[in-house]
Structure 1
Amino acid sequence: MAAFLDRRDPENIEDSAERFEDRAGGWLDVMAAAKGLHPITRACMGYHLWSLAGLGRHGDQIEAAVTASRIATSDGSGAIFAPLAMAGAGGLRVSGLPPERLARWLDGMNSAILTAMRTLDDIEVWIGRAENVMAQLSGRTPVALRKVFTEWPLVSAPMAEAMTGASRAAVQRNLAWMEASGLIREVTGHGRYRMWKADLV
């Protein structure tokens, strides 16, 4: 775990200080002891024990959340997709007793899954609208761009160019057309490093 997370103890660590390897080993031991719990419960447990074990840096919970998502999907009987952060930070809040934390975790998962399902429904509606509006366009670039916008929440021109295999000029021309047609909108507000997203209205 230390190598994967690129965590090293300082060279001048005191003999009395607990080493990262020991902290990680303690976390792994506790998680192994909880093997009988449902993967979603273990994911919640692992997330909340992460900082208590001293594995995070400066309050950074991204590693803990990623690790929790891997635990939740580890054996195929848990969640396949649980975008906890889509419903706000409630499910990831670190306070209260373990039953309260688990209840918030499950509520957060439920809310996030409903939010994700609504977003997927909106994307389906957008696909139908985009197909109708773009029917007058010829070539493969419009179809390829439409596919990119259904798969990615934010798209840059270089990303669209790489994913569609189209020329920079063709991508920029089609992005401008899609934006003018109300299918996509630019979200950065800058002249350079611009990003667009599907306008799901």
Structure 2
Amino acid sequence: MARFTDDPPFDPYSDDTEDGDGDLWFLPPDPEDNLDASEVSAGVESRLFPFQEWRAAEADYALDLAALSFDFGRLEERLRLHGEGARRRLALQEVASLGWWSGDRLPADRLVLWISLQIGATGTDAQALARGAWAVRRLTNGPAPVGQDRADAMSQLLGHAPGTPPSARVTDACDVLDSLSSLHPIVQSAVLFHLWRMTDPSPARDLEAAVLAARLGGAPASGQGFLPLSLAGFPGLVAQGSAAARLQGWILGAHQAVLAALMHLDRLAAWTARAEETIFDLSGRTPPRLLGLLKDWPSVSAPMAEQETGASRAAVQRNLDLFTQRGLIRELTGRGRYRVWTALLG
């Protein structure tokens, strides 16, 4: 089976990046434009994330937060029934969607090719693919950044070397979250998202902020869960203004994403039932194995199917052609090389 490696091939904290301070819309006016991240972090708790303001926002949107938590619990239960392949499938789609917000704009099929076979990268998007693969791994593996070991968990999610003391940025973020520890984890996840974007100037800032927040927001339902944030748009990621305005957008965006994920799993279950009926007359082990692969991944290439099923390239291609003829899948690329297929969920 394809495996995710735990060593991201890039350094998300490289100093050889452009300064991102121009995007910090939520900073108060300051005549000094050259403050570094540590100077900003030192006063962030008192100036930008006061407990009483976020507590009041949580109370104002308690019903919306309860509705989101209920539907997220439904999603986690559904994922347990579908298996870990469904969680990975949603993670791939979440990262592809986040790319449209962060600027990487990588379709899920490109991420699948890179994660499963390490192919499909070019000189212009190799870093974007590395960030995307990192995000998929961290959404589906590793500890949630909660509890007494929050700093170590966050460091592990970020890919820091084992045994390395948490960075100043991680420590500052954990201090802020600890001061808000009585708030719901989804509320804390909104704070972490905005806080991380403020204190990290690297190109990986936006994707890291979303991944860390998704893992924190998903902690109540499952230790390995993540809260979808972008499957139905970006209202939570672009919300501005007061704590109430940002939390309102965060809950709205996450709830829409959770409902979109539930609908996707409904379509996937219906497709699986239809596919099993459609291929009942096909003999051998390859058709059901290929069916399981198409269920667990949003797109599948012939080399990937050959590796995952253990079948020959000829057998894989023959069954892919049969699945296409029977209306179960379609080919996405329309070209001769690096062809990929996806299930017609309908």
TM normalised by structure 2 equals: 0.50
1:88 to 1:46, Cα distance in 2 relative to 1, 3 A:
same
> For 2:172 and 2:228, how far apart are their aligned partners in 1?
27
Matching residue of 2:206: 61
AA matched with 2:302? A
* Deviation at residue 9 of structure 1 after TM alignment: 4.3
Matching residue of 1:100: 245
Q: 2:36 aligns with which of 10, 18, 29?
A: 18
Q: 1:160 aligns with which of 297, 301, 305?
A: 305
> For 2:317 and 2:284, how far apart are their aligned partners in 1?
14
Q: Which moves more between the two structures, 21-30 or 91-100?
A: 21-30
- The secondary structure found in structure 2 opposite 1:84 is coil
Q: What are the Cα deviations for residues 10-64 of structure 1, in whole angstroms up to 9, with x where unaligned?
A: 6xxxxx96367544433232122222221111111101111112x1424741111
Q: What are the Cα deviations for residues 95-142 of structure 1, in whole angstroms up to 9, with x where unaligned?
A: 232211111111112111111111111111111211121111101110
Q: 2:228 aligns with which of 65, 80, 83?
A: 83
Verify: 1:27 aligned to 2:173, yes or no.
yes
AA matched with 2:13? R
- Contact (CA 8 Å) 2:236, 2:250: kept in 1 or not? yes
Matching residue of 1:46: 192
Q: What are the Cα deviations for residues 38-97 of structure 1, in whole angstroms up to 9, with x where unaligned?
A: 1111111101111112x1424741111111122123465799442211111122214232
> For 2:275 and 2:309, how far apart are their aligned partners in 1?
17
1:105 to 1:78, Cα distance in 2 relative to 1, 3 A:
farther
Aligned CA RMSD, in angstroms, stands at: 2.6
> For 2:209 and 2:266, how far apart are their aligned partners in 1?
30
- The secondary structure found in structure 2 opposite 1:26 is helix
In structure 1, runs of 5+ residues without a counterpart are 11-15
Q: What is the percent sequence identity of the aligned residues? A: 43
Greater Cα radius of gyration, structure 1 or 2: 1
- Between the two proteins, the alignment pairs up a number of residues equal to 192
- The secondary structure found in structure 1 opposite 2:330 is strand
- Contact (CA 8 Å) 1:157, 1:194: kept in 2 or not? yes
Verify: 1:7 aligned to 2:9, yes or no.
no
In structure 2, runs of 5+ residues without a counterpart are 1-9, 17-33, 39-166
1:79 to 1:40, Cα distance in 2 relative to 1, 3 A:
farther
TM normalised by structure 1 equals: 0.83
